[in-house]
Amino acid sequence: MVAILRAMNTLGIQFGDSEQGAEDARIVCDVIQAMEDTKPFSEDLLDAMKRLWADSGVQECFARSNEYQLNDSAKYFLDDLDRLGAKDYMPTEQDILRTRVKTTGIVEVHFQFKNMNFKLFDVGGQRSERKKWIHCFEDVTAIIFCVAMSEYDQVLHEDETTVCLLF
């Protein structure tokens, strides 16, 4: 939600209900500034997020998410705020699979499948790390390049004028 709120400002998009939207945005941003994201949602925060997600300006900004950095799973989580905000909330398998931890640097994972050893490298997308990628390819016999189809029209984090797949 915070990414959408920031993008609304950048893209010049107004809340459908400007007074309520501004108050709800303040509630959400206050929680983020206080770094209280490990606590359960308060009723005020949950209500503010639900109103914001229903706001026409927020929806307009969400529709333009290729113009800023928004997690692919944002809609999944924002569509299910009641369940996520429940006092007895337990993450589902789908919730866990849809979470994202931003990688910084190169992350290497070793695993075995059908008696074959594999090394999986997550090289992230930071431009500053790209020169280090060459070291990932030492003694490599095959490469499988994976790309998120949902990112074909998204901009780079470090350069919001360049589309990811053009770089």
- Asked if residue 92 and residue 12 are part of one domain, the reply reads yes
pLDDT of residue 38: 60
What pTM value is reported for the model? 0.72
- Asked if residue 142 and residue 91 are part of one domain, the reply reads no
- Asked if residue 136 and residue 72 are part of one domain, the reply reads no
CATH of residue 13's domain is 1.10.400.10
Asked which of 69, 98, 127 is the last residue of a domain, the reply is 98
Asked which of 98, 121, 152 is the last residue of a domain, the reply is 98
* Count: domains in the chain: 2
Asked if residue 72 belongs to a known ligand binding site, the reply is yes
- Asked if residue 81 and residue 43 are part of one domain, the reply reads yes
- Asked if residue 40 and residue 21 are part of one domain, the reply reads yes
pLDDT of residue 127: 64
DSSP H or E run through 148: none
Asked if residue 155 belongs to a known ligand binding site, the reply is no
Asked if residue 101 belongs to a known ligand binding site, the reply is yes
- Asked if residue 126 and residue 94 are part of one domain, the reply reads no
pLDDT of residue 167: 46
Asked if residue 141 belongs to a known ligand binding site, the reply is no
Asked if residue 139 belongs to a known ligand binding site, the reply is no
- Asked if residue 78 and residue 21 are part of one domain, the reply reads yes
- Asked if residue 84 and residue 8 are part of one domain, the reply reads yes
pLDDT of residue 26: 94
pLDDT tens profile 61-81: 999 998 888 988 999 999 999
**Residue 107 to residues 81, 104, 115, 132, Cα–Cα distance (Å):** 31, 8, 23, 12
Asked if residue 127 belongs to a known ligand binding site, the reply is no
Asked which of 46, 70, 98 is the last residue of a domain, the reply is 98
pLDDT of residue 72: 87
DSSP H or E run through 94: helix 93-98
Asked if residue 125 belongs to a known ligand binding site, the reply is yes
Asked if residue 24 belongs to a known ligand binding site, the reply is no
Asked if residue 99 belongs to a known ligand binding site, the reply is yes
Three-state DSSP state, 153: coil
Asked if residue 162 belongs to a known ligand binding site, the reply is no
Report the distance separating Cα 124 and Cα 104, nearest Å.
7
- Asked if residue 122 and residue 78 are part of one domain, the reply reads no
Asked if residue 5 belongs to a known ligand binding site, the reply is no
Q: Are 58 and 8 in contact (CB under 8 A)?
A: yes
Ranges of the chain with pLDDT below 70: 35-39, 124-129, 151-167
Query: String of b and e for 25-60 (b: at least 16 CB within 10 Å)?
Result: bebbeebeeeeeeeeebeeebbebbebbbebebbeb
DSSP H or E run through 122: strand 116-122
pLDDT of residue 91: 94
- Asked if residue 30 and residue 56 are part of one domain, the reply reads yes
Asked if residue 73 belongs to a known ligand binding site, the reply is yes
pLDDT tens profile 98-113: 987 777 777 888 999 9
Domain span holding position 46: 1-98
